[in-house]
Amino acid sequence: MSTDSTAPLSAARSPRAQRALRLASGTALCLAASFGLQLPIPMVAPVLAVFLLASLNRPLSLKAGLGLALVVMLTTGSGLLLIPLLRHYPLSGVLLIGLGLFLAFRLGLRGGNALVSTFLVVGLTMISAAGTFDFGLAVTVIEALVKGLLVAVAVLAIGHWLFPEPAGAPAAPAAPVLPADQAAWIALRATLVVMPAYLLALNDPAGYMPIIMKTVSLGRQSCTTTARNAGRELIGSTLLGGVLAMLFWGALSLFVHLWMFFLWMLLFGLLVARKLYGLSPTRQPPSFWLNTLVTLIILLGQSVQDSVAGKDVYTAFAVRMALFIGVTLYAWLMLQLLDQPRRVRRHGP
């Protein structure tokens, strides 16, 4: 991810300000577009936009954007193939899902495309869980992912047009390729982080879709954090995302309008993006702020949908936040338990 705040560029040539503006404005525009166009599962598009804008420092060509959308259809469609197995042979189906998650995370850690790895994880979890409940719901999720990605790719192009990279700015560094044994171990950790939420979602896919999205983000984050920093990074970013979501909701309640939704998202996005890109120095790594922003979008987007559906927003938010904290605590505990034997072998008893 291209968020290195130590790049030896002069202030005039530093791309960090443009990248922060691009992330904040792109996320706000994608959020407003997805709700304004009434896309299915509208929170998906801004989450994908965050991943794209934080990962890519160059706009995608039309051919590359359509190719990525096709890849998303193929990778997420992999979950459809497992629906009959999950319905008739659930144990075998769950074991295959676990194996698929392990291979998808390992692909990203061994030098594969990180976005493709993420979409594979999403396809294996969200699509297969939705399909066990209703095949039409699975198709709706795929539609949401493809449409959301197309909107995110368009927003990426607009962001680079409005805030282009400075001349001479370095390209994003390639992600390090981990040794096979280390990549396998970290992929196993990420798989065990995602699996409990997936099993929970099999009982009520529509209700637990935000939890799956959160655990996919946690799985990504667990691939880059260490067990020593996991508590502060995983739990801290989740709690901060929840606090920002409550502040956002309170501000939006003063005047409910789509343009105010856009403007408040722009403001909150700028606050987080400044931290993420090191414009406002912080001790937390970029992944902390990325997960904070993703958590904010998921919680806020679901609260807006609850409000439209006439549900008790505050009760639903409290339950959802408790589940978010629960899966985050589980992720932290899993990292601690799995890394303890390796620390003992490395340093001795």
pLDDT tens digits, 50-90? 988 888 888 777 777 777 778 777 777 777 888 888 888 88
pLDDT band at 344 (very low <50, low <70, confident <90, very high): very low
pLDDT band at 257 (very low <50, low <70, confident <90, very high): confident
Q: Mean pLDDT throughout 86-115?
A: 85
Query: Quick check: helix, strand or coil at residue 161?
Result: helix
Q: Is the confidence at residue 243, as pLDDT, over 50?
A: yes
CA 65/CA 74 separation, integer angstroms: 14
Q: Mean pLDDT throughout 228-235?
A: 72
Apex 233 CA angle, 231 and 238, nearest 5: 95
**Distances in Å between the alpha carbon of 15 and those of 19, 24, 152, 166?**
6, 14, 21, 6
pLDDT tens, 138-163?
Answer: 888 888 888 888 898 889 889 889 88
CA 171/CA 145 separation, integer angstroms: 28
140-173 burial: b if 16+ Cβ within 10 Å, else e: ebbebbbbbbbbbbbbbebbbeebebeeebeeee
Q: Which of 198-207, 248-257, 259-268 has the lowest mean pLDDT?
A: 198-207
Q: Mean pLDDT throughout 207-233?
A: 73
Q: Which of 23-37, 195-209, 275-289 has the lowest mean pLDDT?
A: 195-209
**Distances in Å between the alpha carbon of 105 and those of 16, 59, 73, 111, 144?**
28, 25, 18, 11, 22
> From its phi and psi, is residue 268 left (phi > 0), alpha (psi between -120 and 50) or beta?
alpha
> What stretches of the chain show up as alpha helix (H) in DSSP?
16-36, 44-55, 62-81, 83-88, 90-109, 114-122, 128-133, 135-162, 180-201, 205-222, 227-230, 236-254, 258-276, 286-308, 313-347
Q: Pick 337 or 163 by higher pLDDT.
A: 163
Q: Mean pLDDT throughout 152-175?
A: 78
Q: Is the confidence at residue 39, as pLDDT, over 60?
A: yes
What's the full length of the chain, in residues?
A: 349
Q: Pick 61 or 3 by higher pLDDT.
A: 61
Q: Which of 27-31, 34-38, 61-65, 201-205 has the lowest mean pLDDT?
A: 61-65
**Percentage of the residues of the chain whose pLDDT score is greater than 70:** 87
Predicted model pTM? 0.85
Say if CB 7 and CB 171 are below 8 A apart.
Answer: no
Q: What is the pLDDT of residue 229?
A: 66
Q: What is the pLDDT of residue 34?
A: 92
Q: Which of 94-103, 154-163, 175-184 has the lowest mean pLDDT?
A: 175-184
Identify the CA nearest to 16 among candidates 30, 1, 2: 2
pLDDT band at 9 (very low <50, low <70, confident <90, very high): very low
Q: Which two tokens stand for residue 62?
A: 């039309």
Task: Name the average pLDDT for the chain.
Answer: 82
Q: What is the pLDDT of residue 176?
A: 67
Placement of tokens 């880059």 in the chain: 224
